[in-house]
Chains A and B, each alone.
Chain A
Amino acid sequence: MENLTREKEFQAKLDREVKIEPKDWMPDAYRKTLIRQISQHAHSEIVGMLPEGNWITRAPNLRRKAALLAKVQDEAGHGLYLYSAAETLGVDRIDLEEQLLDGTAKYSSIFNYPTQTWADIGAIGWLVDGAAILNQVPLCRTSYGPYARAMVRVCKEESFHQRQGYEIIMTLAQGNEAQKKLAQDALNRWWWPALMMFGPSDDNSKHSAQSMAWKIKRFSNDYLRQDFVDRTVPQAEYIGLSVPDKDLKWNDERGHYDFGPINWEEFYNVIKGNGPCNRQRLKTRNASFKAGAWVREAASAYADKKASRKEVAA
């Protein structure tokens, strides 16, 4: 009975657009959903460092090298404050990290695709960060306060990354023949996976309805995907690249682009672990974690020693 009243009050608060803060009462399922979503987002930032980090050592000039280093550093930073936001819900970062390492937690499937050429760094910024921003801007108004506030900062930096990525691709598209080919090849490979980033279509999205009611999620997957297509197609045309979709055409009546069917079989396979790099990404994360164990142990042993020396001195 008491819980029912609390839940009603909770929903009423959401309906009044009052933010939920860490010490406020919240339904267990709301807490769980947020922990899952925020930690998945944090994991995505961390795994996302790998495909982009793959090109830091081969960036074509010093300006690009510095910019890519700064971008990957931003992503590590996003991971850090998203983990902190998740910790306000009563979980420990180390437990979340372990879920990533043992494969029980998910992260954005897009990072299971390889970055094979420099143009992929442009495509990731332009398309992947571009898609991420559309997912993330509404999260700045999400109902859980610490998450919403973390997302304000994330979005500012992501939008900078998106422009930077587009600029990389534009430079290639306006370059020599070989560079144009690099740009088109990257668009061919990243276009469909980028569309898949918005998740299953609305009728197949198992978490969507509840998340919308809780105002964690603000727009449906299909709505955001359409928005992405409408924004991105003109950007591709502007720099003379063609979107790899023969069904793509402007629909005057709808005021939107129509686009071809998404290969959901591929989508579910990558989620299940069959993407080109799933195993490799997890292995890499696990190897780093294992190789760093003695460093973390040393740091905590030293911190203990220092604390006990202080105690003795006092």
Chain B
Amino acid sequence: MTQQEALFEYCLRLGDNGLILGHRLSEWCGHGPILEEDIALTNIALDLIGQCRMALSYAGTVEGKNRSEDDLAYLRDVYEFRNVLLVEQPNGHYGDTITRQFLFDAFNFALHQRLQFSSDEHIVAYARKAIKEITYHARHSSEWMIRLGDGTEESHNKVQESLNDLWMYTGEMFESDEVDQLMVDAGVGVDLKIVKQQWDDSVGTVLAEATLTQPEDGWMQSGGKKGTHSEKLGFLLAEMQFMQRAYPGATW
């Protein structure tokens, strides 16, 4: 694998995480538990889609095959997507959505904090913009984890179950493969071991305050980063890509 190929993959992973999670959050639009949360979730979705556009555009440039952000978002099939499995998990109830977000935000925050010091100036510009938004996302989801965990008995039980259900998708975020290693060696990417340490600290602190029990690290699901996904992602893409597939080549 060349460095250029690795950088393309690396940008796809960043972009696809934003795209798929942003899409999931946008499914909440108009259905939130309270109007303020409708606004917050829509806002976070919007940030993530914005981040995805920067990352996918750059991926297209790096690849050098003239593919635009939209070509990459709308004209790839499931096996070509590089998002982690966590972000494609269905919304479930509000506690499921918040838990998914919380687990991802803590990772995303630690990652983007360090991407600001990448040797690649495009990644730096992208990360500097993104980190401001992700800082807010992480605060929002942490606060809700605490509210739900330390709220009522019902909310505590519900969100504990969400945590137990989603925990097996957390390991994949820190799995380092050839792409990650090449990017770390080039000074472009981030050492995921360091991201994991920070994630452990921040997640542990919030879960303790939320009076929630951190699940044991058991078997971790993985595959998303390499293009092996759940059955759910195909339906998400079928919906998201409908217009581009139904009216090929049209301008919107």
Contact = CB atoms under 8 A, between A and B. Distances in A.
Interface string B148-185: 10111011001000000000000000000000000000
Interface in A58-78: 58-66, 69-70, 72-73, 76-77
Interface of A: 46, 49-50, 53, 56-66, 69-70, 72-73, 76-77, 79-80, 83, 118, 168, 171, 175-176, 178-179, 284, 287-288, 291-299, 301-302, 305
Contacts of A50: 30
Contacts of B240: 57-58
Main secondary structure, interface of B, reads helix
Nearest to B239: A57
B152 A69 contact: no
A57 B26 contact: yes
Interface in B195-252: 239-240, 242-244, 247, 250-252
Given A62-B69, A284-B31, A73 B43 contact: yes
A76 B154 contact: no
B24 to A, nearest CB: 9
A294 B154 contact: yes
A179 B250 contact: yes
Contact of A297 (B43, B155, B244): B155
Contact of A302 (B42, B49, B150, B247): B150
Interface of B: 19, 23, 26-27, 29-39, 42-43, 45-46, 49-50, 52-53, 56, 69-70, 73-74, 93-95, 146-148, 150-152, 154-155, 158, 239-240, 242-244, 247, 250-252
Residue among B30, B95, B150, B155 facing the most chain A CB atoms (10 A cut-off): B30
B52 to A, nearest CB: 7
Contacts, number: 137
List the 3 closest A-B pairs by CB distance, nearest first: A292-B33, A298-B151, A298-B155
Given A292-B33, A296-B33, A305 B155 contact: no
Given A58-B240, A64-B252, A291-B33, A298 B39 contact: no
Residue among B50, B244, B252 facing the most chain A CB atoms (10 A cut-off): B252
A118 B246 CA distance: 12
